[in-house]
A = this chain, B = another copy of it.
């Protein structure tokens, strides 16, 4: 066997990093070479360490795991990426695939699975938990029914700013003041977000932002 797979591990909870590290380091073909507590740190470490594989939590400060994944794919084209998350959610699953991830593992079900996902990623095989397969098939059928256009809907930067502030509990008037724009424009961005994400009101926007790690609960 050749040298072990060099892994970058990013999660904002030291306890989780420690546990995952113990799990991975007990496998002879896997070794954790760097740990990051947020997305920005993950990118900085990836520049110097140049790992073979990055395991990224979605909900992290500064940069989310998905944002970090996009940046890492651009920076180190050969890198493999696994997204490790609490939430079984189609939206994030497809976002992860678009961001360059080759696997998606749930914290609630993973322990042995994580090791298998690492090996699958290095063999360039996708790793999908069972629920994700269902979502993938449903999406395929949906796209076929609609004639083949791909959704690829992405929240713009400005919209994400507004999303954060809405989810933090600011009123439209407050957000307008913070961003130096009119209340109407804030409401328009919010309406676009609701429509793009298929949500109903600012309460659902809040839950979305929490799942995405954009804000702390």
Seen from chain A, the residues whose Cβ lies within 8 Å of a Cβ on chain B are 12-20, 22-23, 84, 86-87, 107-111, 114, 167, 169, 200-204, 206-208, 210-211, 216-217
> Given the complex of chains A and B, what is the CA–CA distance between A201 and B169 in angstroms?
8
A99 to chain B, nearest CB (A): 20
Residue of B nearest to A13 (CB): B107
In contact, B206 and A108 (Cβ under 8 angstroms)? no
Q: A169-B201, A204-B169 are in contact. Are A14 and B217 (CB under 8 A)?
A: no
Which chain B positions have C-beta within 8 A of A23? 15, 18-19, 22
What B residues does A87 contact at CB under 8 A? 216-217
Residues of B within 8 A of A107 (CB): 13-16
Task: Name 18 A/B residue pairs within 8 A (Cβ), A-sorted.
Answer: A12-B108, A14-B110, A14-B111, A15-B19, A15-B84, A15-B108, A15-B114, A18-B19, A18-B23, A19-B20, A19-B22, A22-B22, A22-B23, A87-B217, A169-B203, A202-B203, A207-B217, A208-B217
